[in-house]
A and B are shown apart, each in its own frame.
Chain A
Amino acid sequence: MRRIDAPVAAMKLLIVEDELKTAEYLQKGLAEQGCAVDVAHNGIDGQHLALVHDYDVIVLDAMLPGIDGFTLLRALRQVKQTPVIMLTARDSIEDRVRGLHDGADDYLVKPFSFLELLARLQALQRRGRAQEPTQLKIANLQIDLIARKAWRGSERIDLSAKEFALLAVLARRQGEILSKTAIAELVWDMNFDSNTNVVEVAIKRLRAKVDNAFSPKLLHTIRGMGYVMEARDDAIGDGLDEEDAR
């Protein structure tokens, strides 16, 4: 698979996860994103690594052999403030409260998607970063976030408020794959799996205005995962292979 993007690149991560298959794919996926990834399969090793090394983010499973995730987190918090994303199997409120109370920075319920984890990592990395730009430029697409206007080359694109919001969300995270759920949340503040094709339709309509009459194509569909906005070397449209790794 092509690299999704570079925002999480160069992060040093620790994954503490006893489920071998999960740990394996997380390590592989994150390493391919350019992260340096250490893995611990139990709480004791995890705690040791977490205390000895300085990680950018620790991905921590709540249920672990040896020492459970909450205990590890409390021990860690007495020493340092490494950002922690907790993984829990149950979406119980107690777990959430407990995790956040113990100092977790974020929280994912299994089964979570890899994209979701990437998004959370990116959010943690964005945290405290310099202010967002007011102008975005991808190939010949230009977006003025203050005036809420967009151009393709010299041609002004007429967008509704929500269409602009959708474009801005995609453009701000250029190169980052956004799932339909993430888009619904970022653009419409709908925080749930909506089971509707609203986002598909919205993307289709946005594409008609932003992409169809122009080149290069910028708004791409990643089948089964979501959408990404980026300038690609080739000018082939969507739906074809995504093999164009750099």
Chain B
Amino acid sequence: MNRSITRRLVVMFALGALITFTIVGAALYGVLERELTRHQNDDLNTNLQNMRYSIERFGDLEHWPRLQTKMDTLSPADGSVRFWVLSDDPRFLYGKGLDEMERVNQGEAGHGTLTLPITGRSYRTLSMRIGAFADRPPVRLIVGVDTEPFEHTLRAFLVALTLLNLAAVALVMALGWWIARIGLLPLQRLSTQARALRPKTLSQRLQVDGLPVELEDLTIAFNGALGRLEDAYQQLEAFNADVAHELRTPLANLIGGTQVALSRPRSATEFQETLQSNLEELERLRSIVNDMLFLARADQGEAATGLTAADVAHEVEMTIEFFEPLLDETGTTVAIEGELRTQATMNIALFRRALSNLLQNAIEHSTAGARLVVTISQRAGAIWIAVANPGATIAATHLPRLFDRFYRVDSSRHDHGDVHGHGLGLAIVRAVATMHGGATVATSEAGVTTIAFSIAAA
């Protein structure tokens, strides 16, 4: 119920109309009631003053029958106006049901109401005391006006008011529904467009032109989200293709090698060689799977654990020491520069892993006898470790993508069976940096490629 904006708007319109009309109606009713009361009181007063004058001036016993006749004349047959005269002297009594009148209206002069016991009719009354005159003792004159027409008018007005109110509310609801429908039309157009979005049509965007201001922000935000989604989706697609491709080569080797081995009788030695070859491929698969799991965990936002305080330069030295056999072999040298006293809080195994990937990468991409430089620097709350190697300059378009999984600058190298890596090395560097609250950056200028990662300074 509350989920529909149209319904909510209609209900709110109706409530608003109901409240407004009720207040206006109540005010009108009050005004009418006051006016009617005033009118009745005027009526009473006129009649009272009229009779009072006669009774005061001519109300002796001799003239009393004439006054009675006058009162008869002034009382219409429908009983809408009535006169009563109360007196200690029974000769001066006038009006019907006087016994009750005496009981009912013992008050002093003034306004009052009474209900006649027999007919049940209600009267608004005005009474006053009139002093003695000639042979007449003091009397009490009461004028009554039937309230029935007055109440009837009020009732009729109230009914009319209620019906009109309801009709008006219904009309407002109908109008409100129509207005809401018209007003929400752009939203409907948007949802129609949104419904048409499919994974295949992720490059489509919702139209912003002609939208009301209120929806424009939302639509732009939604389009932004679509853009990010498209990027992520495409990355995932490419990634899946890459994974499949990476796994396909070792799998093909395994299947083919095994098939060849089994296709004819062979010596144990030959089978052993097949198994050994298979084992190499399987290790390759295991290594890819393990690295992918590691990257997946980093993607899920897993932070590095097992953090310890470490001397950055020392860790760099230890990692370089690991590479010494390889460095000796290729005649490569490594220099450590920068802020050598930097301390950091890190997972040492992960740090060494990231750095060893960078060193491996640098050694692979520089010619024998090159001089690599590892620079430690500290800026803006982060500790940066940069590895620079002389080598072919990498085009700027490749640089931001170097850290993507399976990304290779030279796609022709893809299938050359690069035994020391499977295109995840720099992705792992980025994952390690992320897990330490850091980042990665790559630059390549004038024959020197520098790849760096950072970890948050403690």
Contacts from A to B (Cβ < 8 Å): 1, 91-93, 111, 113, 162, 184, 188-198, 201-202, 205, 223-225, 241-243
Closest to B297 in A: A91
- One of B7-15, B41-49, B322-330 at the interface: B322-330
- Contact assessment for A195 and B421 in the assembled complex, using a CB-CB cutoff below 8 Å: yes
Q: How far is the CA of A193 from the CA of B419 in the complex (A)?
A: 13
A-B contact pairs, 30 of them (CB 8 A): A111-B289, A111-B290, A113-B286, A188-B318, A188-B322, A190-B319, A190-B356, A191-B349, A191-B352, A192-B350, A192-B353, A192-B356, A195-B360, A195-B422, A195-B425, A198-B322, A198-B323, A198-B326, A201-B325, A201-B326, A205-B325, A205-B329, A223-B276, A223-B279, A224-B279, A224-B280, A224-B283, A225-B279, A241-B269, A243-B272
B277 within 8 A of A: yes
| B244 beta carbon closer than 8 Å to chain A | no
Which 6 residue pairs of A and B lie closest in terms of their CB atoms, listed nearest first? A224-B279, A202-B325, A223-B276, A188-B322, A201-B325, A191-B349
Which B residues touch A191, using CB under 8 A? 349, 352
CA distance A162 to B323 in the complex (A): 11
Complex Cα spacing A246 to B269, Å: 17
- The residues of A that contact B279 with a CB separation of less than 8 Å are 223-225
Chain B 259-303 against A: per-residue CB contact (8 Å), 1 yes, 0 no? Answer: 000000000110011011111101100110111011001000010
In contact, B305 and A196 (Cβ under 8 angstroms): no
A198-B325, A224-B283 given; A192·B352 CB < 8 A: yes
Identify which of B290, B297, B329 contacts A193 (C-beta below 8 A).
B290
Tell whether B357 is near chain A: CB-to-CB under 8 Å. Answer: yes
Contact, CB under 8 Å: A242 / B325: no
Q: Please report which residues of chain B, range 402-456, place their CB below 8 angstroms from some CB of chain A when the two chains form the complex.
A: 419-422, 425
Q: How many A-B residue pairs have CB under 8 A?
A: 86
Q: A197-B419, A205-B325, A205-B329 are in contact. List 15 more A-B contacts (CB 8 A).
A: A93-B302, A93-B305, A162-B321, A188-B321, A189-B318, A190-B319, A190-B353, A190-B356, A194-B322, A195-B287, A195-B360, A198-B325, A202-B325, A205-B328, A243-B268
Residue of A nearest to B330 (CB): A201
B324 lies within 8 A of A162 (CB): yes
Query: Is A193's CB under 8 angstroms from B325's CB?
Result: no
Question: Of residues A188, A194, A195, which shows the largest number of chain B Cβ atoms within 10 Å of its Cβ?
Answer: A195
Query: When chains A and B are docked, how far (Å) is the Cα of A93 from the Cα of B356?
Result: 24
CB–CB A91/B293 < 8 A = yes
Closest to A91 in B: B293
What's the Cα separation between A53 and B294 when bound, in Å? 38
Q: Which residue of B lies closest to A163 (CB)?
A: B325
A225 to B272, CA, bound (A): 13
- Bound together, the chains give a CA A225 to CA B283 distance in angstroms of 9
Supposing A91-B293, A205-B328 touch, asked if A224 and B276 sit within 8 A by C-beta, the answer is yes
User: Assuming A93-B305, A113-B286, A162-B324, is B353 touching A194 (CB within 8 A)?
Assistant: yes
Q: Taking chain A's interface residues, is the majority helix, strand, or loop, or is none over half, making it mixed?
A: loop
Q: How far is the CB of B416 from chain A (nearest CB, A)?
A: 15
A194 and B350 CA atoms in complex are apart in Å by 11
The digit string for B342-367, where 1 denotes a CB below 8 A from any CB of A, is 00000001101100110010000000
Cβ of A195 and Cβ of B277 under 8 Å apart? no
Contact across chains for A241 and B326 when beta carbons are under 8 A apart: no
- Chain B residues within an 8 Å CB radius of A197: 326, 419-420
Q: Which residues of chain B are within 8 angstroms of A225 by Cβ–Cβ distance?
A: 279
Q: Is the CB of A201 within 8 A of B329?
A: yes
| A113 and B319 alpha carbons, distance in the complex (Å) | 25
Q: How far is the CB of A244 from chain B (nearest CB, A)?
A: 12
Min CB gap B405→A, angstroms: 14
Q: Which residues of A contact B289 (CB under 8 A)?
A: 111
Assembly CA distance A205 to B350 (angstroms): 28
Q: How far is the CA of A162 from the CA of B320 in the complex (A)?
A: 12
Residues of A within 8 A of B291 (CB): 193
CA distance A225 to B278 in the complex (A): 11
Q: Which residues on A sit within 8 Å (CB–CB) of B422?
A: 195
Determine whether the beta carbon of A242 is less than 8 Å from that of B272. yes
Report which residue of B268, B319, B324, B421 has the largest number of chain A beta carbons within 10 angstroms of its beta carbon.
Answer: B324
User: Contacts of B324 on A, CB cut-off 8 Å?
Assistant: 162
When distances are taken between beta carbons in the complex, the residues of chain A under 8 Å from B318 are 188-189
**B442 to A: closest C-beta gap in Å:** 19
B325 surroundings in chain A (CB, below 8 A): 162, 198, 201-202, 205
Taking a contact as CB atoms under 8 Å apart, the answer to whether A194 and B280 are in contact is no
Per the bound structure, the CA–CA distance linking A193 and B305 in Å amounts to 18
A92 to B297, CA, bound (A): 9
Q: Which residues of B contact A223 (CB under 8 A)?
A: 273, 276-277, 279-280
In the bound complex, residues from chain B placing their C-beta under 8 Å from that of A92 are: 297
Residues of chain A within 8 A of B360, CB atoms compared: 194-196
Could you tell me if B277 and A224 are in contact, using CB atoms closer than 8 angstroms? Answer: yes
The distance in angstroms between the C-alpha atoms of A190 and B352, with both chains bound, is 7
In the complex, residue of chain B having the shortest beta-carbon distance to the beta carbon of A223: B276
A223 to B278, CA, bound (A): 10
* Distance in Å: Cβ of A98 to nearest Cβ of chain B: 14
Q: Which residues of B contact A195 (CB under 8 A)?
A: 287, 357, 360, 420-422, 425
Q: How far in angstroms is the closest Cβ of chain B from A73?
A: 22
Of residues A111, A198, A201, which shows the largest number of chain B Cβ atoms within 10 Å of its Cβ?
A198
Identity of the chain B residue whose Cβ is nearest the Cβ of A205 in the assembled complex: B325
A149 CB, nearest partner CB in chain B, Å: 20
Contacts of A93 in B (CB 8 A): 302, 305
Chain A residue numbers with a CB within 8 Å of B275 are 224
User: Which residues does chain A contribute within 8 Å of B357, judged by CB atoms?
Assistant: 195
